[in-house]
Amino acid sequence: MFEKVLIANRGEIALRIHRACREMGIKTVAVHSTADAGAMNVRLADETVCIGPPPARDSYLNVAAILSAATITGADAVHPGLGFLAENADFAAAVEEHGFVFIGPAPEHIRLMGDKVAAKAAAARLGIPTVPGSSGAVRDPAAAQTAAAALGYPILIKAAAGGGGRGMKVARDRAELAHMLPIAQNEAVSFFGRGEVYLEHYLDRPRHIEVQILGDGQGGVVHLGERDCSLQRSHQKVLEETPSPALNAEERGRIGALAVGAMRTLGYRSAGTLEFLYQDGEFFFIEMNTRLQVEHTISEMVSGVDIVREQLRIADGAPLGYRQAEIRLSGHAIECRINAEDPVSFRPSPGRVTDYHAPGGLGVRVDSALYQGCTVPPYYDSLISKLVIHGKTRNECLMRLRRALEEYVIGGIETTIPLHQRLIDAPEFIDGNYDTHWLERFVGRRG
Ligand code: MV4
């Protein structure tokens, strides 16, 4: 096993990775910007290296500084965490070229899934259902109308180089498609530098269901069930739960087996997530994330598998050592993403945390690098804590979550705790009756 791992990230996820290393007897190197010199993950690390000023492009995205830090500290391996360089295939390749182990997938798999059109084609080849769409880019309105007639309206126009939902356009009929196509093409050029767009049949009320998988790159692949991530605002996830209240056991088993089969054929290594839209009993692959995700915690709570520990073992060359039949998914788990934001306007609220008290008790997990007196810098993502709850049933989980949110004190800054309190009391949420549009409407209505 590795003796020393460099963690190329910050905040709660850097601390999460530090914890797994510590439990495995692995020393950690924290790299940090000047804004994060006093952060908890930095205080707990065995060694620390300041890699630059606050802007991420000069620090957490500074490949030369990170590789230099790995060299001078004598690290064996680099964990990229999530965001920043985690899905940068060139970074993964550079880490390996410099003689360190990249704790993640093969660079070619990161590259494949980074191209949405190629990822969708790969998924289809691997036997995974995808949304009916044009086979490649569409150039002119006449060609678009011909393709659309075969797919069925409404149509969604997506940028080939796109992501995060930006630049998508819905067309309800032939005339609207002809009108929207050049607008979408122009937006694609200005947002992504590439004008190619493609068409898909538009699903108007889907749920966002994703499957967590672990592969060892040696034929061993398992899934840890699905997560329902339909509760989003501006393409930012707010609350995730597993199992999805929308699926039955047959659907769960079917989508898990499809994901596992495809990843075994691909020879996928490390943790990964296949994202699907689910509507009227059907799954449609949309994309794959080739990294650890923020919401991996809820899959850990129901499976008992430490996903970061598994990433470290797999990167060290170990086979999985267990089969799907040995994975028992038990109970229900929910994650609330707590952001340093105004809970009504969603404006960022960085600053000094004057008071801090985290909830505890059975089935309560808090993944956060906050402490009383710390400062939340204004330069990065506003996620400051993940409140993760486990219960034997969904109802037990909800009752426990309600009381944990009540106990949680974060003073000095605004947080989204009040939003979560309002959300989990909504009848639609309590009934598990929500799609990807529901939260947007819910935060729009006041009181
Ligand atoms: C869709 C869709 C409906 N139909 N594709 C948004 C982000 C991008 N990765 C894919 N997205 C969507 N693709 C078809 N054919 C609806 C969305 C979508 C969405 C998807 C998942 C979670 C939240 C969402 C919010 C709005 C739109």
Q: In what order do the strands lie in the sheet with 101-102?
A: 47-52, 27-33, 4-7, 77-79, 101-102
Determine the distance separating the centroid of ligand 1 and the alpha carbon of 58, expressed in angstroms. Answer: 32
The residue contributing the CA closest to ligand 1 atom 17 is: 165
Where a domain ends, among 201, 230, 245? 201
How far CA 18 is from CA of 75, 177, 206, 251, 273, in Å, comes to 14, 50, 36, 36, 22
The residue contributing the CA closest to ligand 1 atom 11 is: 165
Statement to judge: residues 155 and 214 lie in one domain: no
Statement to judge: residues 392 and 338 lie in one domain: yes
Give domain status of residue 159, yes or no: yes
Q: Are 202 and 170 in contact (CB under 8 A)?
A: yes
Parallel, antiparallel or unpaired: strands 332-339 and 355-357:
unpaired
Statement to judge: residues 10 and 150 lie in one domain: no
Whole-number pLDDT of residue 135: 82
CATH number at residue 235: 3.30.470.20
Which residues does residue 50 pair with via DSSP β-bridges, in sequence order?
A: 32
Statement to judge: residues 314 and 232 lie in one domain: yes
| SS3 assignment for 4-21 | EEEECCCHHHHHHHHHHH
The residue contributing the CA closest to ligand 1 atom 5 is: 202
Determine the distance separating the centroid of ligand 1 and the alpha carbon of 440, expressed in angstroms. Answer: 13
Where a domain ends, among 175, 201, 227? 201
Catalytic residue, chosen from 10, 111, 291, 400, is: 291
Ligand 1 pocket mutation, candidates 210, 235, 442, criterion most atoms within 8 A of CB = 235
How far CA 259 is from CA of 73, 179, 224, 347, in Å, comes to 38, 38, 11, 37
In this structure, which amino acid lies at residue 322? Y
Statement to judge: residues 214 and 233 lie in one domain: yes
pTM (2 decimals)? 0.96
Element (DSSP H or E) covering residue 111: helix 107-114
Counting from 1 in the atom list of ligand 1, the atom nearest the Cα of 440 is 25
Give domain status of residue 128, yes or no: no
Residues with CB under 6 A from ligand 1: 131, 156, 165, 200-203, 206, 208, 232, 235, 277, 286-287, 436
Name every residue whose Cβ is closer than 8 Å to that of residue 386 and which is 6 or more positions away in sequence.
12, 294, 297, 335, 336, 337, 338, 366, 367, 368
445 is catalytic: no
d(CA 363, CA 43): 27
Statement to judge: residues 156 and 286 lie in one domain: no
Statement to judge: residues 254 and 295 lie in one domain: yes
Where a domain ends, among 161, 183, 201? 201
CATH number at residue 24: 3.40.50.20
Cα–chain-centroid distance for residue 427?
27
Give domain status of residue 125, yes or no: no
d(CA 298, CA 302): 7
Whole-number pLDDT of residue 25: 98
Give domain status of residue 214, yes or no: yes
Q: What is the count of structural domains for the chain?
A: 3
Statement to judge: residues 36 and 77 lie in one domain: yes
How far CA 440 is from CA of 88, 234, 235, 428, in Å, comes to 31, 8, 10, 13
Give domain status of residue 32, yes or no: yes
The residue contributing the CA closest to ligand 1 atom 16 is: 203
Dihedral angle sign, alpha carbons of residues 315, 321, 323, 326: negative
Q: Are 73 and 46 in contact (CB under 8 A)?
A: no
Determine the distance separating the centroid of ligand 1 and the alpha carbon of 349, expressed in angstroms. Answer: 28
Determine the distance separating the centroid of ligand 1 and the alpha carbon of 165, expressed in angstroms. Answer: 6
Statement to judge: residues 168 and 242 lie in one domain: no
**What domain range is 152 assigned to?**
141-201
Element (DSSP H or E) covering residue 77: strand 77-79
pLDDT one digit per residue (tens) for the chain, 447 residues? 999 999 999 999 999 999 999 999 999 999 999 999 999 999 999 999 999 999 999 999 999 999 999 999 999 999 999 999 999 999 999 999 999 999 999 999 999 998 888 999 999 999 999 999 998 889 999 999 999 999 999 999 998 877 777 889 999 999 999 999 999 999 999 998 889 999 999 999 999 999 999 999 999 999 999 999 999 999 999 999 999 999 999 999 999 999 999 999 999 999 999 999 999 999 999 999 999 999 999 999 999 999 999 999 999 999 999 999 999 999 999 999 999 999 999 999 999 999 999 999 999 999 999 999 999 999 999 999 999 999 999 999 999 999 999 999 999 999 999 999 999 999 999 999 999 999 999 999 654
Statement to judge: residues 174 and 44 lie in one domain: no
Statement to judge: residues 339 and 262 lie in one domain: yes
CATH number at residue 153: 3.30.1490.20
Determine the distance separating the centroid of ligand 1 and the alpha carbon of 200, expressed in angstroms. Answer: 11
Give domain status of residue 131, yes or no: no
Determine the distance separating the centroid of ligand 1 and the alpha carbon of 318, expressed in angstroms. Answer: 36
Give domain status of residue 168, yes or no: yes
Statement to judge: residues 15 and 155 lie in one domain: no
Neighbours of 228 (CB within 10 A): 24
Ligand 1 pocket mutation, candidates 168, 244, 275, criterion most atoms within 8 A of CB = 168
Whole-number pLDDT of residue 136: 82
Give domain status of residue 190, yes or no: yes
Placement of tokens 């439990």 in the chain: 23
Whole-number pLDDT of residue 165: 77
